[in-house]
Structure 1
Amino acid sequence: MSSILLVHRGALGDFLMAWPSMLAIRERFADQAVFWAGSATRLPWLRPLGVEPCPLEMRRGMDALFLREPWPVELADARVFWFVLDTDPPVPAHSRLHVLRGIVGSGSVPTTSPRDAYAQGLRELGIGWNPDWPAGWRGLFGAWGSGQGRKGDAEILLFPGAGHPAKQWPLVQFFELARWLQGQGRSVRFVLGPAERDRGMEIRDYPVSWPHSLDVLQELLLGARLVVGNDSGPVHLAGMLGVPGLALFGPALETQWGPVGLRTIGLDLACRPCTRTGRIACADPRCMLEIPQNMVRREVGALLAR
């Protein structure tokens, strides 16, 4: 019996962009075994679809692909769907290998999100894409507002980190925002991850959570009133779960990388965006440093008013 192998080796936000297409592949090949070749931390979001970890034999076949040998016998009956951003994997082309690119076109100001680019790639392969995928996600993993997240004393979660320092609004600005929210009678909590721990980010005078797993992060999000954060994986997860919130964008463009369902803001500067692919070389990220406090407060106030 033939099988399907899903491959993705990117960051959390990139994976969440690809998830709707993984759902489409699972639905298209409902009568076949589907396996996952990627970070084990993503499996909680794939197992409910019937996706299982890649068996050892298939992993050997994947390793053989990198040796640029003929199509491995371990993958003889497999179709491989490999998700990338803009660079093809360093393996030989083959009729059973489908590379799905999240970044398409060559324009300097991209507007197509990786989510939509993956969907287009699937359509070109004759695989339909369900536009109602958010309902599928929330039915499987939880939806904000279903008994959680609307209590008056629920906390506002602040995410001051990001995968790259140039994508971070200054920490002092988050402190100012937290102080303002407390003055409005709101409860706030900072949420930090491994990257912030490695960079020595320190939060004083405010509650802080360090989720030790993505499951814990998801539970935290579902219990929040809203989220405010930089362009980062946790903010994308909040949008997938339907949590209201605001995402701050700098080097990357919000029309390309914006989380589903969240408000986004970014400055209108001539140097924006300076990346289409997520690779950032800017040493002076004015686009983040100069986002004014009053702009963020105005957007957060509008969200709270709703």
Structure 2
Amino acid sequence: MIVALRALGVGDLATAVPALRALRAAYPDRELALAAPAWLGPLVELVGGVDRLLPTAGLHRLERPQAVVEVAVNLHGRGPDSHRLLAGVGPGRLLAFASPDARHLDGPAWDDDEHEVARWCRLLSAYGIAADPTDLDLRRPAPSNLPTGVTVLHPGSKVPAKRWPPERYAALARILTVQGHRVVLTGSGRERETVVRVAAEAGLPPDAVFAGRTDIAGLAALVADARLVVSGDTGVAHLATGYRTASVVLFGPVPPTRWGPPLERRRHRVLWAGPGAWPDWDGVGSHPTMAALGLDQVLVAVDEVERAVRADRAVAA
């Protein structure tokens, strides 16, 4: 058995897709298990190639499989805690970044500024396993009764600093609706109150609010068949990349060079105000790099990706 650890969220799993597929190709006759949160199960199915999900919440506990673990792969972090967690399943070999604290020295050095997709591909490459960082496409979800062709606005993020101000999402929703978009709003159950407020301010009907109404499979289905996605640097943006859905992603304070969509995908635009020096931020609410992004900038980016989609369709026709 091969066990890979990625006990994080939606975007984290999406950025590990090339590495997981590389492991599948490298060990075609071995069972590939992924240690990840149970609620990500439907998305793991859309990645493909993973034989078993080992439900794992954070780094608290990883149940040792009954099968012999030949290779354990740390796609979670730099260690030492994640290294030690994997060591607990008794692998014959550990593939991981070097961590003196975990007494693991044969892996490559960690690079804080590396893009998240490239990081895990480089890790595997150091152990002789080729990985293609552009292999990000996700499987199509099963048909559903969710709307298609919608414009998805995702105001939330589990990191408050990464949220664009809600009133700007409301203003954006109003303008896009006038322009002919069918706007829907997504988010987690905990974000529903904010999303409902955005919908009310934007004049959207209650059925435009999907926050708390869809599981991860439903969210993937919405994004896969959407016209456009606008969000911060969060999991929905990575789903848009995986489905080649046109997207505008607002970054701050983490730069897009670490988590942004691939530059070769013309249907995606990133907006970032740059690192700067933001001495007036009190640590509450949206980071100044997010607040610095204006509505007009987002509308220009929306127009750019929509023109790219139209051009692609014209070529295909």
Q: TM-score, normalised by structure 2?
A: 0.74
Distance 2:164 2:290 in 1: 5
Q: Match for 2:274 among 245, 257, 268?
A: 268
Offset from partner CA, 1:137-172 (integer Å, 9 cap, x none): 34x336xxxxx96xxxx3211111112111001000
> Whole-Å Cα distance in 1 between the matches of residues 297 and 50 of structure 2?
44
* Consecutive unaligned residues in structure 1, runs of 5 or more: 56-60, 65-72, 143-147, 273-280
Give SS of 1:227's match: strand
Q: Render the CA deviation track for 1:211-248: whole Å, top value 9, x for unaligned.
A: 42111111111221111111110111111111011000
- Residue segments in structure 2 that go unaligned for 5+ positions in a row: 56-60, 99-107, 142-146, 309-317
Residues 63 and 52 from structure 1, CA distance in 2 versus in 1: closer, same or farther, beyond 3 angstroms?
A: closer
Does the residue aligned with 1:209 lie in a helix, a strand or coil? coil
Which position in structure 2 is the counterpart of 1:122? Answer: 124
Matches within 5 A, 1:154-165: 154-165=149-160
Asked if structure 1 preserves the Cα contact closer than 8 Å seen for 2:177 and 2:183, the reply is yes
**Within 2, Cα distance between the matches of 1:103 and 1:113?**
14
What is the correspondence of 1:75-224 to structure 2 with a 5 Å cutoff? 76-89=68-81, 91=84, 96-99=93-96, 104-105=110-111, 110=113, 112-134=114-136, 137-138=137-138, 140-141=139-140, 154-197=149-192, 202=197, 203-204=199-200, 205-206=203-204, 207-210=208-211, 211-224=213-226
2:101 counterpart residue number: none
- Structure 1 distance, partners of 2:54, 2:183, is 41
Contact 1:8 1:82 in 2 (8 A): yes
Partner AA of 1:266 in structure 2: W
Q: Deviation at 1:96?
A: 1.6
What's the TM-score, normalizing by structure 1? Answer: 0.77
> How far apart in 1 are the matches of 2:28 and 2:161?
42
Q: 1:189 to 1:32 in 2, by over 3 A?
A: same
In structure 2, the CA distance between the partners of 1:5 and 1:269, relative to structure 1 (3 Å rule), is closer
Question: Following TM superposition, by how much is the alpha carbon of 1:259 offset from its aligned partner in structure 2, in angstroms?
Answer: 2.9
**In 2, distance between residues paired with 1:285 and 1:239?**
24
What is the alpha-carbon root mean square deviation over aligned residues? Answer: 3.1
Q: What whole-Å deviation, never above 9, does each CA across 1:24-52 have from its counterpart, x for those lacking one?
A: 10111001111222212333344431421
Q: 1:103 to 1:176 in 2, by over 3 A?
A: farther
Instruction: Count residues in correspondence.
Output: 269
Identity %: 23
